[in-house]
Structure 1
């Protein structure tokens, strides 16, 4: 049935900024512990995490958020023994890089930012390139000052690690499920047995085993088929999370015993990180395109099944769902009830206030009735000003009480008060029939006919009342 979305109350700004500072502090500690001796970290998740959070939560992106992030950055360096000057310089570059990526992504449509559009991967790549370039340019000057190496080495290493981190971590943050989001659109393996649902991720494990046995220069690409299969089968969040794990494992496996992430191997490290980035880009693009397709199908299904004006179930979808409920509940002890609801004197509303006011009245009545129903109840619009409701697992007394509640919430609903105009109120007549009154062989059509007959009597006897069939 139709229900308005509920927006959950977010954290207060001070708590959100404190949480951001602590999160960046923890992420920096992870990066610091991954530093080779005397140089930058081999894996630095803090910048990508900051960019993802600022883009995902636009209300967080205010000056105090940057201050909180700066505190987290600098505090992590200082508590681990870094020099003040180096901590301020390198972390200022970190903040500049994340800010550059945020400037690229912040004005994009939410669907793009949530990885629900085919162009999402392209925009994310552009943001990652901008953020990596700005951060590397701002920080590379520290190389001769603090690391006694050419600035070009630091430039290439900073750029490549940031590019990889942004492309692996930001998609996970942006696509993570939200408590207040609508149900996700079905993906490729929706509704299939568990064995086949696990097949894509199992193929990754198989590829890893084959790669270990065969080895060689082509081992980097062995997991590509599995990652693409996962991208076609799972949500962007699951696909991005798998890419993060697989790509980091791949990089570690290639580099172990061969590379260290210092200027001595700058060109090889650059090549490896860019290769890992491109390894993640293909599955990400496929996952975004698959999510866009699934979302388009979900919207199409919603448009077909729901009334385009009021948002409740359309006639056909309501009848189909009602038939299933009748087959399930009519033989149980409580049974079920069917209501026919008709707006009283609706033609007068259209004639006196215009069809726009009539449409707004129907929308308001549908929303008011939806809010007064139980989660398991089904509400639909049969046409014009006529609605119907199925009340599963409801006794005759319970069904009558719900019908009276619907009538009262509509009676108290004001409409037509825009622009200082006087308020108006509408009423509805309700016909109610319970499955127990028609026997165990009644179907949806019989229940609707009986409820419609009760509705006719309610109108004949003065309207604005509930009549039992």
Structure 2
């Protein structure tokens, strides 16, 4: 079963800020060790990581977070031998750039920030351009002071590396799996088709290694687009990050030195790599938006629009599947028919809105009392049905009594009747009592007959058929 790699309990703010400081410190060390001697880093992930975390976790974006990040930035420079003035200047520019990008993204709809809308990639590009420009403008004045080079060269190199880093790293952070994400659709796809897109990337890498030439940058585009159509935005962004960094390293090895002497070539390479990642990112966002729309449509079709439980047709389909699986097993399967007692009186005396609220509350109460594997559906009006897989007759009766009790004890307040209470009558039948060949319709009819006996004997009770 799909389990996102996430903490189930959020960290306390002090621990979160301490973790942020340590993470920025480590990311800065990665960037510092990637610096050419006497100049800026070839790859600087810290700013993009900071922006992604602040946007992904809005509660983290408080003044202490910026202080913690600043401590991480400056500490990394100081322990690697930089002067205080250089560390403060360059890292002040880093913080300004990340803050500018955060201001662009912070008020967007959550689905846009999670890369689940077709426009997500464009907003991310706007934020990356803004952050890169602000950071580069704030830091370029350091070039003649610390690097003995024109400020225009530092402006070009800073802007291009930040633009590339933001477009490659921030999507990975924003789209990383969360606890409330639905299972990925790729689980229902045969294994050969799940690995085919990433295999095409490996093939493209091999082909361009053999062929080479100026067109080698585009060899991986079809594979990246296929991955964007086949995988989640997170997986697609992660693959883009790996492929684009590998592409940049492959092009630059032995050809480019990431210093002012090659500023125009480096600028062209980094912008090209950024655009290489932008196309698959836009496709992945559009694909995610389409998948979400299909999920919403499927949910609307399969679920009752009032109570949120399964609609009749979907309940019958899922019940048949469970019956085919559990009918002949040792524990078997049970079916409950549940009817709200005196529901017509509620509608007549308090109105249909009160009746609707009562049905919603009863459905929520029963859902809370069922096991995760149990299936609840609304068959129509005030009538519900439940399938209890892998339940013995005694276990099924205990669950039915639990449903009856939780409904009886829970108040269902409405504007017309703040302390309204309700009861349900339940008919129960177990597959073992009807033999191994009974279908779901037969079980429902038997449970319905038991339900009518429960009503005839005074309601608010469980009767077994």
TM (norm. structure 1) is: 0.96
Deviations 1:35-80 (A, max 9, x none): 0000110000000000000111111111111111111111111111
Q: Distance in 2 between matches of 1:411 and 1:168?
A: 55
Report the Cα offset of residue 361 of structure 1: 1.6
Deviations 1:127-168 (A, max 9, x none): 000000010011111111111111111001000000000000
Q: Does the C-alpha gap of structure 1 residues 81 and 420 become closer, same or farther in structure 2, counting only changes over 3 Å?
A: farther
Question: 2:76 aligned with 1:76, yes or no?
Answer: yes
Q: Does the C-alpha gap of structure 1 residues 47 and 4 become closer, same or farther in structure 2, counting only changes over 3 Å?
A: closer
Report the Cα offset of residue 420 of structure 1: 10
Q: Distance in 2 between matches of 1:7 and 1:181?
A: 14
1:192 aligned residue: 189
Are 2:4 and 2:178, in contact at CA under 8 Å, matched by a contact in 1? no
Q: Distance in 2 between matches of 1:4 and 1:385?
A: 38
Are 2:101 and 2:128, in contact at CA under 8 Å, matched by a contact in 1? yes
Deviations 1:106-132 (A, max 9, x none): 111111111111111111000000000
TM (norm. structure 2) is: 0.96
Q: Secondary structure at the match of 1:424?
A: coil
Root mean square deviation, CA, Å: 2.3
Q: Distance in 2 between matches of 1:165 and 1:122?
A: 16
Are 2:4 and 2:179, in contact at CA under 8 Å, matched by a contact in 1? no
Report the Cα offset of residue 179 of structure 1: 2.4
Q: Distance in 2 between matches of 1:461 and 1:385?
A: 19
Are 1:25 and 1:75, in contact at CA under 8 Å, matched by a contact in 2? yes
Report the Cα offset of residue 3 of structure 1: 16
Are 1:3 and 1:371, in contact at CA under 8 Å, matched by a contact in 2? no
Are 1:2 and 1:313, in contact at CA under 8 Å, matched by a contact in 2? no
Q: Distance in 2 between matches of 1:364 and 1:26?
A: 50
Deviations 1:392-434 (A, max 9, x none): 1111111000000000111111122xx7964111111100011
Are 2:172 and 2:238, in contact at CA under 8 Å, matched by a contact in 1? yes
1:131 aligned residue: 131
Gaps of 5+ in 1: none
Report the Cα offset of residue 464 of structure 1: 0.6
Q: Does the C-alpha gap of structure 1 residues 3 and 449 become closer, same or farther in structure 2, counting only changes over 3 Å?
A: farther
Report the Cα offset of residue 332 of structure 1: 1.7
Report the Cα offset of residue 366 of structure 1: 1.1
Report the Cα offset of residue 463 of structure 1: 0.7
Q: Does the C-alpha gap of structure 1 residues 147 and 51 become closer, same or farther in structure 2, counting only changes over 3 Å?
A: same
Gaps of 5+ in 2: none
Q: Distance in 2 between matches of 1:422 and 1:268?
A: 73
Q: Distance in 2 between matches of 1:108 and 1:4?
A: 24
Moved more, 301-310 or 327-336: 327-336
Are 1:142 and 1:151, in contact at CA under 8 Å, matched by a contact in 2? yes
Q: Distance in 1 between matches of 2:424 and 2:10?
A: 38
Report the Cα offset of residue 192 of structure 1: 3.0
Moved more, 326-335 or 251-260: 326-335
Q: Secondary structure at the match of 1:341?
A: strand
Q: Distance in 2 between matches of 1:183 and 1:383?
A: 30
Moved more, 364-373 or 348-357: 348-357
Are 1:52 and 1:174, in contact at CA under 8 Å, matched by a contact in 2? yes
Q: Does the C-alpha gap of structure 1 residues 388 and 273 become closer, same or farther in structure 2, counting only changes over 3 Å?
A: same
Moved more, 5-14 or 246-255: 5-14
Are 2:354 and 2:416, in contact at CA under 8 Å, matched by a contact in 1? no
Q: Distance in 2 between matches of 1:181 and 1:15?
A: 25
Q: Distance in 2 between matches of 1:30 and 1:302?
A: 45
**Aligned length, in residue pairs:** 463
Report the Cα offset of residue 346 of structure 1: 1.3
